[in-house]
A and B are shown apart, each in its own frame.
Chain A
Amino acid sequence: MPEIFERRSRESHGEWVITRLIQTAGYSSIFFVLMILYFLLANGLPVMKDVSLSNLFSTVWYPIEEYYGILPLILGSLVVTLGAALIGVPLGILTAVYISEIAPQWVKEALKPLIEILAGIPSVVLGFLGAIVLSPFLRESLNLPTGLTALTGSILLGAIAIPTIVSISEDALNTVPRAYREAALALGTTRWQTIWGVTVPAARSGILMAIMLGIGRSIGETMTVMMVTGNAPVMPDSLGALFAPIRTMTATIASEMGEVSGGSPHYHVLFFIGIVLFLITLGVNVMASRIAFRQRKRSERVLS
């Protein structure tokens, strides 16, 4: 009797330690996020003292002459990301539909690991390929003065977003009950009508989430865009900007952070760009998780 009692208490002791450990790990990630946020704000917000708002939100980025207009950088990021979305979203969704609805088993088994490999390619390698293969190709085939353009970045970022979009969309398609497809087919619909009319709409929220997360990945991507977009901080003002060099927020921070002296206005502006980037990414992620939340609530309602 006392022996059992002792063992119990030892067990619960171990239990206590493990619980605390897990708790600490959980809290520490919150702590780190808060630290990062504090660090960003502490180094970015002083910009308000050094640089006037009209300078900060102007269209000229030329730090040596104290022109700190971040609009070309924000728009640069948006143009490249939009281009990436235009390329990555349709391709990603079509690939997911193909893998989950059409491909024979052996193709499925070949494609899935390939997509995972694509996801695992370091972005610097993609950037390298972009610089020596894609950009000369674009320059010649489109007859451009340079192949280092927003479009080049978009294509590569599209390739980076595709694995995320494919794997999450495919999961969403796979959770559509088989019975939906059979019900539609039993009504005399063709396979395509079933896919576009029933299966894809039923997986809609999962696919939307896939798109959000894919776009989120491409906004934050640095190395690839730095290597292939030419890095010219020009204000993109028309569709033609896609075929010209551009500069993104991430590339600006990465390439200039090494040269600035700590505490200078330039230094603070770079951190301020970091805050903007953080807010955009946060917004995209919040949208994605709200979609996911809505989807869960709906499935709970359906199942109850």
Chain B
Amino acid sequence: MDKIVVEHLNLRYSDGTESLRDLNLVIPANAITALMGPAGGGKSTFLRALNRLNDLADVVAQSGRVLIDGKDILEPEMDVIALRRKVGMVFSRPLPLPLTIYQNVSYGLEVAGERNREVLDKAVKLALDQAELWDEVHDRLSDPAEALSGGQKQRLCLARALALKPEVILLDEPTSALDPVATAKIESSLSELKKNYTIVIAPHNTQQTARVADWVAFFLQGEMIEFGPSKDIFTRPKDKRTEEYILGRYG
């Protein structure tokens, strides 16, 4: 099923950078789609277009359509708050809010108006379970989140996004600050989560792309050069630039 359909998406920042140029792409549901490419290619910009986080940046021109479940989310009358609950995001810095472990996960639900203790407790447990963190923190939920290790913090950030029961999860280099063990845990959660979610990730290197991706989009300087099943991209890329990137000829 096609969860996200991007049509002729263009985006320019106030400094004149054409960060996305005529982007066309279909992101399937219940799969991991990886955005691959060198730094500055527009991967983060694209991810932040999907939950309208770019609204905060100084974007001067944006055109095209981004349809999620058939609805154009770039329309000005779009309910951005509702969109962001439906499209969760994990950033590259594992930065929990300055709250307790429990509050970090319940925060999104509480500001959404959920007051029922039982509902919150259940949602927090479920989200921590999904992020494979419950076993490590269940006996210290009221400790400050600051006390967790880097890998645990990042899984907490995943849990706080999951608590809102999103349909799409965006991850922008979620493991760039983590060691290999912590990275492996995040990757294993993702392959479990993809059964029920649409996952779009900008992995932090090509190896990770190869490990987790079902679909790969190759981004180069604001353009999407190639899109296809992971296996095809890595074994027989159609574009020479994709091949060169995979072989490690770009940074």
Contacts and interface: CB of A to CB of B under 8 A. Distances in A.
Given A182-B56, A201-B98, A187 B91 contact: no
B146 A189 contact: no
Nearest to A203: B98
B153 to A, nearest CB: 11
Contacts of A190: 81, 111
A41 B195 CA distance: 77
Contacts of B164: 187-188
B204 interface: no
Nearest to B81: A188
A179 B56 CA distance: 12
A283 to B, nearest CB: 28
A188 B95 contact: no
Interface stretch (B82-90, B116-124, B218-226, B236-244): B82-90
Interface in A170-189: 177, 179-189
B3 to A, nearest CB: 18
B155 interface: no
Given A193-B111, A197-B111, A302-B146, A186 B88 contact: yes
A187 B161 CA distance: 7
Interface of A: 177, 179-190, 193, 197-198, 201-202, 301-302
Contact of B98 (A185, A187, A202): A202
Contacts of B91: 179, 182-183, 186
A301 B107 CA distance: 24
A301 B98 CA distance: 13
Contacts of A186: 51, 53, 84, 88-89, 91, 161
A189 to B, nearest CB: 5
A182 B51 CA distance: 11
Nearest to A184: B97
Contacts of B56: 181-182, 185
Contact of B53 (A177, A185, A193, A201): A185
B35 interface: no
A198 B111 CA distance: 11
B95 A187 contact: no
B99 to A, nearest CB: 8
B62 to A, nearest CB: 18
A179 B177 CA distance: 15
B157 interface: yes
| Residue with the greatest number of chain B CB neighbours at <10 A, chosen from A185, A198, A201 | A185
A189 B146 CA distance: 21
A188 B150 CA distance: 24
Interface string B90-116: 010101011000000001100110000
9 contacts: A179-B93, A179-B95, A188-B108, A189-B108, A190-B111, A197-B111, A198-B97, A202-B98, A302-B146
A193 B80 CA distance: 14
Nearest to B147: A301
Contacts of A189: 81, 107-108, 111
B160 interface: yes
Question: Lowest 7 CB-CB distances: which A-B pairs, in order?
Answer: A187-B108, A188-B85, A188-B84, A186-B89, A189-B111, A193-B111, A188-B81
